Amino acid sequence: MIATLAWKEFRSLFASPLAWVILAVIQLVMALVFFWYLSQYFEIMPRIQQLANPPGVTEIVVGGSFYFAAILLQVAVALLSMRLLSDEYRNRTISLLLSAPISSAEIALGKFCGLMLFLLIPVGLLTLMSASLALGGVVDWGLIGANLLALVLLLAVYSALGLLISSLTAHPLLAGFGTFMALVLLMLLNILATDPNATSNYLSPLSHFEILAKGLIDTSNLSFLVILTVTLLVLASKILDRRRMQG
């Protein structure tokens, strides 16, 4: 059932030019960023070789690109998630889902999975670009895997947040703007934190992404992102339930 909903969502995303434009622009920007990091690496390579434990090409190029993707994809998530439920409210198609024998949790999860499926495309392409480094040198596959995992988990938080905000309003633009602002706020908690151990920094999903992306896969950071995602999804399904109560 969730797969049915997710697949429909995935298909519907591609029905609008927005999704294609987002995919194309993101791929273009990510390729430029990737190339820029690569040239940076070649520039500083002679100098960092003298260090005792120099950062490798994976750390600089892949790490940098994934971090940039984590920031850039906030815009994509805001634009793509805004219609998940708002459009259903506005076009009154939500009654199709509400009168079908499925639960609110299934609706929320289906929509979430559909969006994640879409986001895996730019993430997959970025991973392929990173893997292409292997053509000319030695790459740290473990670190690429860590970055991939960290980015997917971060995007799950973003998507769940976008779904939740989309469940609150019948105006897609309002939902999109709200999601974008919420994501910027969460990002600022990390970027503006002077002390990495501050509570505000801890609350930012981006800080957990950073730790995971360094290759430090530990339960506390993993579970932070997973639990946050689940919580947001549960909230979204509760909001859907509440709409039945309020009408």
Partner 1 sequence: MPQPIDITLAAHRLTRRYGTGLAVAELDLELKRGEVLGLLGPNGAGKSTTMQMLTGNLAPSSGSIAVCGIDLLEQPKRAKARIGYLPETPPLYRELNVDEFLAFCARLHRIPRTALAQAVQQAKARCGLADMGRRLIAHLSKGYQQRVGIAQAILHQPDVVILDEPTVGLDPNQIRDIRALIRELSANHSVILSTHILPEVEAVCDRVHIMHHGRIVFSDSIEGLRRSQQTEILLLGFARPPTLESFIAMTGASAAQRRDNGLFQVPCAPDSALAQTITQAAARNDWGLTQMTPEHTSLEDVFAALTRTEQNTEAAA
Q: How far is the CB of 18 from partner 1 (least distance, A)?
A: 12
- Considering only residues 73 to 92 of the shown chain, the ones binding partner 1 according to CB under 8 A are 91-92
> C-beta of 179: minimal distance to partner 1 in Å?
22
Q: Does 21 bind partner 1 (CB under 8 A)?
A: no
For the record, the structure tokens of 51 come out as: 């260090």
Interface segment toward partner 1; rule CB under 8 A; list 5-13, 41-49, 115-123, 132-140: 5-13
* Residue 8 found at the interface with partner 1 (CB under 8 A): yes
Long-range CB contacts (< 8 A, 24+ apart) of 2-7? Answer: 2/106, 2/109, 2/110, 2/113, 3/110, 3/113, 4/110, 5/97, 5/102, 5/106, 5/107, 5/109, 5/110, 5/111, 5/113, 5/114, 6/110, 6/111, 6/112, 6/113, 6/114, 6/117, 7/114, 7/117
Region from 4-12, 17-25, 69-77, 193-201 binding partner 1, contact rule CB under 8 A = 4-12
**Nearest to 155, CA basis, from 36, 245, 46, 71:** 71
Comparison of 8 and 230: residue with beta carbon closer to partner 1: 8
Question: Which range touches partner 1 (CB under 8 A), out of 8-16, 198-206, 215-223, 224-232?
Answer: 8-16
Q: Does 244 bind partner 1 (CB under 8 A)?
A: yes
Asked if 51 touches partner 1 (CB under 8 A), the answer is: no
Q: Is 17 in the site for partner 1 (CB under 8 A)?
A: no
| Angle subtended by helix axes 172-191 and 205-213, to nearest 10 | 60
| C-alpha angle 60-64-69 in degrees, rounded to nearest 5 | 155
User: What is the closest distance, in whole angstroms, from the C-beta atom of residue 193 to partner 1 in the complex?
Assistant: 42
**The one among 93, 132, 223, 231 contacting partner 1 by CB under 8 A:** 93
Residue 209 and residue 146: Cα distance in Å, rounded?
10
Q: For partner 1, which residue of 101, 137, 199, 220 counts as binding (CB under 8 A)?
A: 101
Contacts of 177 (CB under 8 A, 6+ apart): 78
**What single DSSP character describes residue 135?**
G
Give Dmax over CA atoms of the chain in angstroms.
68
Q: Does 98 bind partner 1 (CB under 8 A)?
A: yes
**Is residue 46 near partner 1 by the rule CB under 8 A?**
no
**52 in contact with partner 1 (CB under 8 A):** no
Nearer to partner 1, 104 or 190 (CB): 104
- Give the interface with partner 1 as residue ranges (CB under 8 A): 1, 4-5, 8, 11-12, 15-16, 91-103, 244-245, 247
